[in-house]
Amino acid sequence: DSGVTQTPKHLITATGQRVTLRCSPRSGDLSVYWYQQSLDQGLQFLIHYYNGEERAKGNILERFSAQQFPDLHSELNLSSLELGDSALYFCASSVGQAPNTEAFFGQGTRLTVV
């Protein structure tokens, strides 16, 4: 158990809908990273939050947004969903944002858009 909790584990929704994925980092970790894993693109970095502030963006679509709350949990909001958004979404947490800190991954949320 990595100590990172993601909910829900599975989500099935229709095209055009909006969903929210939730991530609770390990106790004491200030950084939360969101990643998407799809069959065609593999694992890709979406966005990074540190202590409530956005720190970096990767290949995140404009239809997607995220935030980190004062209790450090984070939410990834996906809107106007398309079939191609079906993927595994992981969050990872680390103590800081320096490069040499180990990242701990959650079990992922499997999103299926039908």
> Can residue 62 be called a binding residue for another protein (CB under 8 A)?
no
> Can residue 35 be called a binding residue for another protein (CB under 8 A)?
yes
Instruction: Compute how many residues bind another protein; rule: CB under 8 A.
Output: 31
> Can residue 67 be called a binding residue for another protein (CB under 8 A)?
no
Q: Which one-letter amino acid corresponds to residue 90?
A: F
**Cβ-contact 91, 5 below 8 angstroms:** no
Q: What is the CA radius of gyration of the chain?
A: 13
Stretch that binds another protein, among 12-20, 41-49, 63-71, 73-81 (CB under 8 A): 41-49
Positions in the binding site for another protein (CB under 8 A): 2, 33, 35, 42-48, 50, 55-56, 58, 88, 90, 92, 96-108, 110
